[in-house]
């Protein structure tokens, strides 16, 4: 018998169930509106750097009727809340899903088409209208393909470390003012956690690699006139070329994180960033144990030195699958009404101010004119992994604190999902600073901390449900 402190299991149990994957190409036409920066002098996209894709991953269990449907798209941000709400409602109705069981996430590339239903009579807006319809059609078809093609498979995880993301909260180096600017801070801390999920069939075929990382895709900026997934495209190409399957990017809590070298119009820089992330993802994949196994201490062999021999043994997989949809009530700042912000926007003379006020107007319309806002949250359990999804842009403190509270779980954090609040969740201590994410958000001090507490409560709730386990090499699937 092996004495403590040796632990026989060095990795978390995988999820075992029916998993489906599918992809749709959602690349728009050249000429579509794609102005995502206040400093941009163009309105329409003039070329395509790389194709944009929409990926779907579905999870099913024999204990639960409804699947979990994860959709990740190479898109930036919804400027009209009604667009994503209508899109979600139609997908939910088409597949008879409870609203807790759908997560529609965005890579948050800043070189994607403008997702807005306004001003359809201006140049290129007819392309936007057609494009919005195509996103819905592709999302529905890809979801159907994933569900119809689902196979008995496992999902297991490993943690890596990628240095692509850096802090972008920098004290203004050009003046003695207290202002912060949004760019590389060499002395700022950055969460470098990379989570890699491996989806493998019972026959050993790799279906998909899930890549959860927190970093703003802001390599390509105001001078760029191309449609691009930013670094996500080359990351996807790098991983898929090496191991096959489908590489699915899941944006993390990246409110203060971005590449240290960014704001360029050179697509090769974005590709370099993507390869960096892709290589780390591949190294993290190679570091994983073979499918369905764990390392177990076996024996000691005397060979000059006493050698500890470990062997791979079958691992018990979890079939747990659950979803929670909840919300947290957040305080709002005393912002002007949407009508007042529109009056200010119409009176503004410079492009940057007009763009800023337009976004503030749209945010105010999304959250209403009240004193509080109920921010939607979603928590999924997939085996021993927990997906935490927020309809906003949180600082990485969110994912760090939740992972710290649940070290025995794999915690996948994602933001900008299922809704269009387009607002940051910065830590309370930053509210005394002149910093973009603070004056841009409508949420009052303490909103990030309230959101973290609500998510922690939901994670505790979802992980205390009864868990049924099956041996990976055990009975055949019931599907």
| 103 in any annotated domain | yes
Range with the lowest mean pLDDT among 69-83, 106-120, 135-149, 318-332? 106-120
Pairwise CA distance, residues 435 & 122, whole Å: 33
Read off the pTM: 0.94
Q: What is the pLDDT, as a whole number, of residue 468?
A: 45
| 40 in any annotated domain | yes
Domain housing 161? 15-291+314-319
| 447 in any annotated domain | no
Using alpha carbons, list the distances in angstroms from residue 8 to 250, 310, 343, 407, 409. Answer: 31, 9, 66, 17, 17
For the record, the structure tokens of 363 come out as 């945010």
Quickly list H helices, 35-109. Answer: 81-94
The three-state secondary structure class of 175 is coil
| 341 in any annotated domain | no
| φ and ψ at residue 98, rounded to 5 degrees | -70, 145
Range with the lowest mean pLDDT among 70-74, 376-380, 434-438, 465-469? 465-469
Instruction: Give the total number of structural domains in the chain.
Output: 1
| 336 in any annotated domain | no
The rounded percent of the chain whose pLDDT value lies above 90 is 78
| 125 in any annotated domain | yes
List pLDDT tens digits, range 45-76.
Answer: 999 999 999 999 999 997 667 899 999 999 99
Q: What is the pLDDT, as a whole number, of residue 476?
A: 32
Pairwise CA distance, residues 57 & 452, whole Å: 26
| 262 in any annotated domain | yes
Query: Residues 6 or more apart from 395 whose CB is under 8 A from it?
Result: 253, 255, 256, 424, 425, 426, 427, 437, 448
| 263 in any annotated domain | yes
List pLDDT tens digits, range 434-445.
Answer: 999 999 999 999
Q: What is the pLDDT, as a whole number, of residue 5?
A: 47
Pairwise CA distance, residues 432 & 448, whole Å: 15
Query: Residues 6 or more apart from 326 whose CB is under 8 A from it?
Result: 376, 377, 378, 379, 454, 458
Question: Per-residue confidence at 120, pLDDT binned at 50, 70, 90?
Answer: low
């Amino acid at each position: 018998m092996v004495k403590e402190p040796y632990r026989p299991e060095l990795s978390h149990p995988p999820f075992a169930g029916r998993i489906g994957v599918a992809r749709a190409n959602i690349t728009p036409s050249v000429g579509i509106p794609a102005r995502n920066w206040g400093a941009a002098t163009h309105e329409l996209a003039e070329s395509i750097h790389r194709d944009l894709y929409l990926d779907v991953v579905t999870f099913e269990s024999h204990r639960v009727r409804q699947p979990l449907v994860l959709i990740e798209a190479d898109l930036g941000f919804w400027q009209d809340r009604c667009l994503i709400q209508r899109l979600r409602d139609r997908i939910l109705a088409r597949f008879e899903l409870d609203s807790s069981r759908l997560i529609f996430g965005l890579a948050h590339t800043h070189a994607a088409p403008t997702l807005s239903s306004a001003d359809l009579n201006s140049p290129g807006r007819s392309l936007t209208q057609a494009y919005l319809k195509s996103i819905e059609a592709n999302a529905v078809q890809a979801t159907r393909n994933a569900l119809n093609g689902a196979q008995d498979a496992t999902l297991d995880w490993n943690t890596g470390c990628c240095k692509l993301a850096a802090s972008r909260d920098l004290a203004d180096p050009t003046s003695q003012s207290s202002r912060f600017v949004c760019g590389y801070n060499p002395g700022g801390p950055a969460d470098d956690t990379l989570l890699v999920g491996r989806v493998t069939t019972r026959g050993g075929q790799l279906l998909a690699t899930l890549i959860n990382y927190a970093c703003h895709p802001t390599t390509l900026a105001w001078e760029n006139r191309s449609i691009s997934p930013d670094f996500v495209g080359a990351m996807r190409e790098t991983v898929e070329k090496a191991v096959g399957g489908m590489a699915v990017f899941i944006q993390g809590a990246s409110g203060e994180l971005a590449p240290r070298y960014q704001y360029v119009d050179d697509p090769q820089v974005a590709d370099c960033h993507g390869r960096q992330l892709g290589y780390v993802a591949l190294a993290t994949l190679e570091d994983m144990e073979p499918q369905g196994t764990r390392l177990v201490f076996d024996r000691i062999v005397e060979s000059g030195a006493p050698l500890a021999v470990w062997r791979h043994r079958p691992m018990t997989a979890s079939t747990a699958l659950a979803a929670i949809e909840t919300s947290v009530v957040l305080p709002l700042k005393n912002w002007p009404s949407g009508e007042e912000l529109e009056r200010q926007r119409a009176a503004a003379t410079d492009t940057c101010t007009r763009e800023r006020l337009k976004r503030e107007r749209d945010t105010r319309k999304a959250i209403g004119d009240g004193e509080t806002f109920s921010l939607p949250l979603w928590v999924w359990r997939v085996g021993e992994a927990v997906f935490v999804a927020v309809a906003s842009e949180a600082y990485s403190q969110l994912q760090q604190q939740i992972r710290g509270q649940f070290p025995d779980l794999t915690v996948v954090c994602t933001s900008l999902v299922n809704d269009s609040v387009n607002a940051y969740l910065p830590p309370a201590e930053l509210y005394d600073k002149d910093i973009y994410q603070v004056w841009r958000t409508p949420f009052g001090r303490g909103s990030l901390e309230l959101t973290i507490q609500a998510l922690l409560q939901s994670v505790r709730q979802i992980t205390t449900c009864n868990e049924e386990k099956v041996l990976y090499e055990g009975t055949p699937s019931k599907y």
